[in-house]
Amino acid sequence: MPPVRLALIGAGRMGSTHARALADRPDGVELVAVVEPSDDAARRSGIAARYGGLDELLAAGGVDGAIVAAPTRLHALLVTQLLEAGLPVLCEKPCGRRSDETRALARRAVEARVPLHIGYWRRFVPALRELQAELAAGSFGALELVACAQWDESPPPAAFRDPASSGGIVVDMGVHELDQLRWLTGREPELFAGLASRAEVDGDPDGVAFALRLGGGGLATVSLLRRHPPGDLCRVEVVGSRKVTRLDFLAPAAGEQAFLAALRAQAADFAAAIAGHPSRGASPADAVRALELAEQTVAALAPQPSTTA
C-alpha cells in the first residue's frame, strides 16, 4: 500500500519534533508538505514541498491528512479550515486555547464526518500502556495515589509563555497530566487545591502544583516546572493497596527517544484511522475535558506578580 501522505502545519518547536520523528517514513506515513511562513523553519524541517499558508496547501492538494503543530492560539482557525476542506486532522494538544473552542471543533468534525484526533502522545508510550492495562485489571488493588510530574529543562520564549498565545503553564503543560490521569485510571479527577510559584511572565508561573480527588476514591497530584536543569522529565508514580510503581517515561539520560517513538506510533495510528481502522488515541471529547479541568485549575490559583518591571 502507498504511504499515507500528511502535511505538517507549523514547523516550530513541536512541528520540528514531528518532522524528526517521521523523517524515515515509519509505518507507511510520509510527510509530503509543510505549511510554515518562516523560511528557516521550513528548511530545517527537511520537507521538500513548502507552502507559506494553509490556503496554498489546500489549493495544491495531494495530501491525505494534516498534523497541526502551529501555536495554540491558531488551532481553532486552522483545524476549522482543514475540516471544512474534508481533510482528517491530528491536532497537537490542547486543540484550542479554551474548552469552548475545542467543543466547537468537535462539533464541526462530527458535522463534516472528518476524523479529528488530538496529540496526547503518552497514550502511545508502551510502558504507560502496560500501566494502564494493569490498573484496569485491578492489579494495584485500591488506588491510593497517582503522582504526575512534568519538568522541562528550560522555559520557552516569553512570547510563547504568554497565556494569550499558549494558555499558560497549566494549559500548555498541565493538560497532558490531566488527560493522562483520566486515561490511566479510568476515573474523573476533581480539583481541590492548587499552588503557583513566581511568575517571570505575567500569567505564567514558573511552577505549579495541584491536587485532585479521583472519582471512586484515591488522590492525585500534579507538579509542573519550567526549569529542571538535568533535562526534560516526565514521571508518574502509582501507589495502590497491593502494588507501587514509578515510571520515568521521559528522562534526561534517555534523551527524547521515547518521545519520538510515541509520535511515530501516534502518526501510524492516525494513518490507520484515515484508512478506516479504530484509533487508540485521544478524542476531541478527551481534549475538552482536559481543558475544562485546566481552566478550573487556573481559576483556583492565586494571581502571581511578575518579577519583571
The pLDDT score that the predictor gives to residue 309 is 42
Q: State the cell numbers at 283.
A: 478524542
pLDDT digits (tens, 9 = 90+) for 70-96: 999 999 999 999 999 999 999 999 999
Strand partners, 148: 222, 236
Average pLDDT estimate for 195-207: 93
d(CA 126, CA 205): 32
Pick the CATH number of 123-252+290-300 from 3.30.1360.120, 3.90.79.10, 3.30.360.10, 3.30.40.10: 3.30.360.10
Q: Where are the beta strands (DSSP E) in the chain?
A: 4-9, 29-35, 49-51, 65-68, 89-92, 116-119, 143-151, 189-196, 207-214, 219-225, 233-240, 244-250
Mean pLDDT, the chain, rounded, equals 95
Q: At 302, is the pLDDT very low, low, confident or very high (cuts 50, 70, 90)? A: low
Task: Supply the pTM of this predicted model.
Answer: 0.94
Q: At 26, is the pLDDT very low, low, confident or very high (cuts 50, 70, 90)? A: confident
Burial of 209 (0-12, 13-18, 19+ CB in 10 A): middle
Q: Looking at per-residue confidence, does 230 or 27 come out higher?
A: 230
The domain locations on the chain are 4-121+259-283, 123-252+290-300
Assigned fold of 4-121+259-283: Rossmann fold (3.40.50)
